[in-house]
Amino acid sequence: MDKLINKYNVSISRGLIGAVILGVGFFLATNEINSFFTALSPYSLMISGLIAFIVTFGTSGIKDLFSKPSDPNGNIKNFFKYITLTAVLGFAASIFLQYVLKFHLAANPESGNIMSIILNIPFMLLGEELISFYILLVLANLIYRKTTNQKQAEIIGIIFSCIIFGLLHFSTYYNGNPMTTLAHILLIQGSARIAFNLSGLKSNTIIMPLIIHIIYDLIFLSFS
């Protein structure tokens, strides 16, 4: 994944084309147009994400994105470290919003209904990982080529990726109040994205955060 930041020469035009493709995929995933697109919706973000990466980074970019996990501190350690961080950040944000600010938080519509979507979850969450890392990597690439400061580029990419990832969940967690919903998705979903992003950057692949995301969501949706 490092190569997607410091080796590829991403143009702004290709980055924008990829973003439009992802926007179309997200629209198809969240809107019922007809029976065909409704059946396709669990996979539309994944498909559009793969296309966006190919348009922007080429087929070699896909290979680098899905490279073998290679965290120098150990892949198993990466898994437990970042799934724990995800849980801690999410729990802390939830406690703060509900018991300190006294916000009413909407539950995920699929909570307690995990069996109805369990077969589609890997494809749906791969779509979420693709759109999140697309934002992170394209921004980081463009910033790195201007500054040659990869750490700064990664931090800015992480911030924007977390914000967009949170905002994509607005309709899912909308509780009738736009402000409390924004606080919910930016603090809870956004903070989870921090851990997913760090896991991917440390392991140099999208595979590790995808595994963490799938397991975390399966646990969360089963017991919430």
Q: Confidence class of residue 28 from pLDDT cuts 50, 70 and 90?
A: very high
Overall size of the chain counted in residues: 224
Kindly state whether residue 112 falls inside one of the protein's structural domains. Answer: yes
Cα–Cα distances in angstroms (integers) from residue 209 to residues 51, 55, 92, in the given order: 20, 23, 20
CA 173 from chain centre, in angstroms, equals: 16
As a whole number, mean pLDDT of residues 14-34 equals 93
As a whole number, mean pLDDT of residues 180-185 equals 95
Between helix 190-203 and helix 121-147 the angle, nearest 10°, is 70
Tell me the torsion sign for CA atoms 120, 123, 126, 127.
negative
Kindly state whether residue 65 falls inside one of the protein's structural domains. Answer: no
Kindly state whether residue 184 falls inside one of the protein's structural domains. Answer: yes
Q: Which strand (E) or helix (H) includes residue 171?
A: helix 170-173
Kindly state whether residue 149 falls inside one of the protein's structural domains. Answer: yes
Kindly state whether residue 170 falls inside one of the protein's structural domains. Answer: yes
Nearest to 41 by CA among 120, 138, 155: 120
Q: Is the pLDDT of residue 219 over 90?
A: no
| Domain that residue 191 falls in | 73-223
Kindly state whether residue 50 falls inside one of the protein's structural domains. Answer: no
If you average pLDDT over every residue of the chain, what do you get?
93
Kindly state whether residue 23 falls inside one of the protein's structural domains. Answer: no
- In this prediction, residue 34 carries a pLDDT of 82
Work out how many domains the chain is built from and give that number.
1
Which tokens in the block code for residue 60?
A: 């070699």
- In this prediction, residue 105 carries a pLDDT of 87
Query: In this predicted model, what pLDDT tens digit does every residue of 161-171 receive, in sequence order?
Result: 999 999 999 99
- In this prediction, residue 202 carries a pLDDT of 97
- In this prediction, residue 108 carries a pLDDT of 78
Nearest to 209 by CA among 86, 114, 73: 86
Q: Is the pLDDT of residue 93 over 90?
A: yes
Distance (Å, whole) CA 29 – CA 43: 8
Query: In this predicted model, what pLDDT tens digit does every residue of 122-160 receive, in sequence order?
Result: 999 999 999 999 999 999 999 999 999 999 999 999 999
Kindly state whether residue 54 falls inside one of the protein's structural domains. Answer: no
Query: In this predicted model, what pLDDT tens digit does every residue of 39-53 receive, in sequence order?
Result: 889 999 999 999 999
Q: Is 112 left (phi over 0), alpha (psi -120 to 50) or beta?
A: left
- In this prediction, residue 112 carries a pLDDT of 64
